[in-house]
Amino acid sequence: MNLQRPQAIEFYRQMLLIRRFEEASSRLYMQGKIRGFLHLYIGQEAVAVGAIPALNADDYVVSHYRDHGHALARGMDPKVIMAELCGKVTGSSGGKGGSMHLFDSSRNFMGGYGIVGGQLPIAVGLALAVKYLEQGRVVMCFFGDGAVNQGEFHESLNLASLWKLPVLFFLENNLYGMGTHVDRTHAGGRDIYLTAESYKVPAAQIDGMDVVGVREATTEALARVRDGGGPVFLEAMTYRFRGHSLADPEEYRDESEVTAWRGRDPIEWFGELAVEGGLLSDADVEEIAEEVAASVRESIQFAENSAEPRLDTVYENLYG
């Protein structure tokens, strides 16, 4: 990929926004301002930022419960996400969704899904609608290594392939389904993408810590899906630097493993690469950091200053 400066700035800015947003939400969680479960995307930023902005505006994104990074990479306003995490009326779902259930219909961001694997059939259905309506769109569906042992994963791959539906199945393999290593959960071991090939879905494994590589692979995969040949499967090898959620005591990973992956921090790695390659200056890096910090600060203020939902709205939007 012949990387240009504007692209480099976007990669760096978007990844850093996710990182700082998640660090801030972690702080708010510790302060009790965010409750429930909070699953941070820290460590996996290169996947969302490499993949999602490669889509067109009318394409669909389907996420999982670790959805903040996807939502930000799709262009959702950090303010409405933070407000949703804080359960405020100004949140993306007016405080009715929460961290695992972010939605933005204006961006075809079709949801974070709280049930492991549950989003896959829905993504297949969106693709069915795309094909039925001849819209030429693509559905990008994210899921983790925990989802691939669910029946819904297999049902979805089979049907999407059988009906040649425009889905890009995007596996974020961060090696752990909650606290259990993929070697202990998947008969095929870490090379999960090979499973897709048994459904005649073209599949590849990529480095999920390399934003440039993710973008290249995504662009190629999207072109293939748009050709109408059916779904494509990408497995991005990645790692979450924090626990499964903030309720996670983190006692199941070797310190050396965590340290080794942190040594491959996707933001630091890309930042250094871009500065060394002359795409970004130190001043750029500083400016982006300030811009991102301001945006995150603004999101916190917005969330904290927003009202809680009114009690008399609790029955609203159950039925249409």
Partner 1 sequence: MMERPVAEITIREAVARGLREALDRDDRVFLMGEDIGRYEGSYAVTRGFLADYGPDRVRDTPIAESVIVGSAIGAAMGGLRPVVEVMTINFMLLAMDQVVNHAAKLRYMSNGQFSIPLTIRTVTGGGGQLGATHSQSLEGWFASVPGLKVVAPSTPYDALGLLRSAVADDNPVIYAEHALLYGVRGEVPDDWYDVPIGSAAVRRAGKDVTIVASSRMARFAEEAAAALMEKSGHEAEVIDLRTLRPLDTGTIVESARKTGRVVVVDEAWRTGGFAGEIVSTVQEEAFDDLDGPVVRVSGANLPAPYSRKLEAAVYPSPERILQAIERNFGL
**Contact (CB, 8 A) for 124 and 161:** no
Query: Between 257 and 296, how does the x/- string for binding to partner 1 read (CB under 8 A)?
Result: ----------------------------------------
Taking 3-state DSSP, the helix, strand and coil percentages for the chain, each rounded to the nearest 5, stand at 50, 10, 40
Cα–Cα distance for residue pair 199/34, rounded to 1 Å: 41
**Residue 115 contacts partner 1 per CB under 8 A:** yes
| Closest separation in Å from C-beta 217 to partner 1 | 24
| Closest separation in Å from C-beta 227 to partner 1 | 20
For residue 154, what are the β-bridge partners? none
**Residue 103 contacts partner 1 per CB under 8 A:** yes
Cα–Cα distance for residue pair 320/305, rounded to 1 Å: 30
**Contact (CB, 8 A) for 299 and 79:** yes
**Residue 311 contacts partner 1 per CB under 8 A:** no
**Residue 231 contacts partner 1 per CB under 8 A:** no
| Positions in 156-215 near partner 1 (CB under 8 A) | 156, 158-159, 162
**What is the DSSP code (8-state) at residue 166?**
-
Of residues 101 and 181, the one with the C-beta less far from partner 1: 101
Of residues 197 and 316, the one with the C-beta less far from partner 1: 316
Cα–Cα distance for residue pair 305/76, rounded to 1 Å: 19
Of residues 78 and 94, the one with the C-beta less far from partner 1: 94
3-class secondary structure, 136 = coil
How many amino acids of this chain bind partner 1 (CB under 8 A)? 42
Torsion sign, CA atoms 30, 33, 39, 44: negative
Give the footprint of partner 1 on this chain (CB under 8 A): 60, 92-94, 96-97, 101, 103-105, 110-111, 113-115, 117-118, 120-130, 132-133, 151-152, 155-156, 158-159, 162, 316-320
